[in-house]
């Protein structure tokens, strides 16, 4: 007979020895932006299933944490009451009067059934991840649903309704933590930048495809912050077609020095994978090799780490990349081959091969020289004007 309370004690001890947490809910996959929309929440379930198939997580694993939806008061640490009220009203999926003023309607930010429920759950998952790290229950927490970095205080933007990175960072700052935010999505993390543009409590770093070629048309190197935040907003716009070498060069020139100077208590990262070569919405040439190198560097530099997902519109890329990232977070290796059982179950998704990792790819010739010249120009500007 097991003594009363032993199971609870064992659970506490197990949680205390955890180093990582994977914040996930099967509820993520029940939401749908609508036919033809690029953002497909089903990619989250696909990632979770691939992680399980690779033996990196089990349904009863203590690292698997179920999130709860964010509370209204949590969302209002950034978003306006009027905007939250409009999202709540539109949760039925019915168009309501005046929503266009909030960026809602046909197109990027459709009104769909459960839209607000989806947004609260994603934000709640990021808050859960932040709390697990802030309270020292784990050193790394990964919410693959998070990273919806375009939403503004009173406006939806770029498929994002609630800015979960901002909400999570606000919670950490409220606990007295210095936070560095690192965004490697193809799109500029404009919503997060705007939220912290005038404070020195948060350092925001975004590496992305140049706004001259890609939404949201911002994120230039001269956007460095205002007032107390001057020098605490850092942008590295990359030329279209930038490959692993260019991306990693820019990343290593800027990020380690910034973190060494700023000395954050916690790093929050957005690990979007719309940077990959065959993503349908962008024009970069990153592969899983460059992506994993940046994940390794963040892991080495971060004293504590809240990792969020982000963009990625080839869902096979999303599943592979975030599975590889989770393996790195746990100091282990994912297999080279995608398990055959998984491929058979999800053969309609569009995996181009059975390989977990991409073959190396590099741009050559004059185009590469021009890209390197442009990146050097940006890097030199940053070194002269921001906190390094």
Span 333-362, pLDDT tens digits: 999 999 999 999 998 887 878 999 999 999
pLDDT of residue 78: 98
Mean pLDDT of 374-381: 98
The catalytic residue among 150, 187, 188, 208 is 150
pLDDT of residue 350: 79
pLDDT of residue 189: 98
3-state secondary structure of 202: strand
Mean pLDDT of 114-119: 98
Mean pLDDT of 92-112: 95
3-state secondary structure of 233: strand
Asked if 150 is an active-site residue, the reply is yes
Mean pLDDT of the chain: 94
| Per-residue pLDDT tens over the stretch 131-175 | 999 999 999 999 999 999 999 999 999 999 999 999 999 999 999
Q: Which strands, in side-by-side order, build the sheet including 266-270?
A: 64-65, 20-23, 140-143, 305-308, 266-270, 179-183, 202-209, 233-238
Q: Which CATH architecture has domain 17-385?
A: 3-Layer(aba) Sandwich (3.40)
What phi, psi does 152 have (nearest 5°)? -105, 175
pLDDT of residue 349: 85
**pTM score, two decimals?**
0.94
- Give the C-alpha separation, 380 to 180, whole Å: 21
Instruction: Give the alpha-carbon dihedral of 60, 61, 64, 65, to 10 degrees.
Output: 70
Instruction: Give me the residue label for tokens 């032993």.
Output: 6
pLDDT of residue 388: 60
- Give the C-alpha separation, 268 to 22, whole Å: 15
Q: Is the predicted pLDDT of residue 7 greater than 60, yes or no?
A: no
Q: Is the predicted pLDDT of residue 8 greater than 70, yes or no?
A: no
Mean pLDDT of 379-384: 96
DSSP 8-state code for residue 184: -
DSSP-assigned beta bridge partners for residue 306? 141, 268
């Amino acid at each position: 007979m097991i003594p009363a309370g032993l199971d609870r004690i064992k659970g506490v001890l197990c949680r205390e020895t955890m180093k990582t947490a994977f914040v996930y809910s099967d509820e993520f996959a029940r939401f749908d932006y609508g036919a033809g929309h690029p953002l497909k929440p089903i990619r989250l379930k696909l990632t979770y299933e691939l992680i399980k198939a690779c033996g990196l997580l089990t349904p009863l694993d203590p690292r698997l944490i179920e999130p709860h939806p964010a509370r209204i008061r949590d969302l209002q640490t950034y978003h306006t009451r009027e905007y939250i009220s409009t999202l709540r009203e539109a949760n039925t999926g019915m168009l309501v009067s005046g929503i266009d003023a909030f960026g809602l309607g046909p197109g990027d930010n459709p009104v769909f059934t459960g839209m607000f429920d989806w947004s609260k759950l994603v934000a709640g998952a990021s808050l859960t991840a932040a709390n697990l790290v802030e309270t020292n229950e784990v050193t790394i927490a990964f919410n693959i649903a998070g990273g919806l970095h375009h939403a503004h205080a009173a406006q939806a933007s770029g498929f994002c309704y609630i800015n979960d990175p901002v909400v999570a960072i606000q919670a950490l700052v409220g606990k007295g933590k210095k936070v560095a935010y690192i965004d490697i999505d193809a799109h500029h993390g404009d919503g997060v930048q705007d939220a912290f543009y005038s404070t020195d409590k948060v350092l925001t770093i975004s590496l992305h495809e140049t706004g001259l070629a890609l939404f949201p048309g911002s994120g230039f190197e001269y956007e460095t912050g205002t007032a107390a935040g001057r020098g605490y907003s850092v942008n590295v716009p990359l030329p279209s077609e930038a490959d692993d070498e260019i991306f990693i060069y820019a990343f290593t020139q800027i990020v380690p020095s910034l973190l060494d100077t700023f000395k954050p208590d916690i790093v929050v990262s957005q690990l979007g994978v719309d940077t990959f070569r065959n993503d349908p919405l962008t024009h970069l040439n990153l592969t899983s090799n460059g992506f994993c190198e940046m994940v390794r560097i963040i892991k080495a530099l971060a004293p504590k780490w809240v990792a969020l997902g982000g963009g990625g519109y080839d869902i096979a890329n999303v599943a592979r990349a975030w599975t590889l990232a989770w393996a790195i977070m746990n100091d282990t290796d994912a297999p080279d081959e995608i398990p055959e059982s998984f491929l058979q179950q999800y053969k309609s998704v569009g995996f181009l091969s059975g390989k977990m990792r991409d073959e190396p790819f590099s741009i050559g010739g004059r185009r590469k020289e021009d890209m390197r010249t442009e990146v050097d120009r940006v890097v030199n500007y940053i070194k002269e004007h921001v906190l390094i």
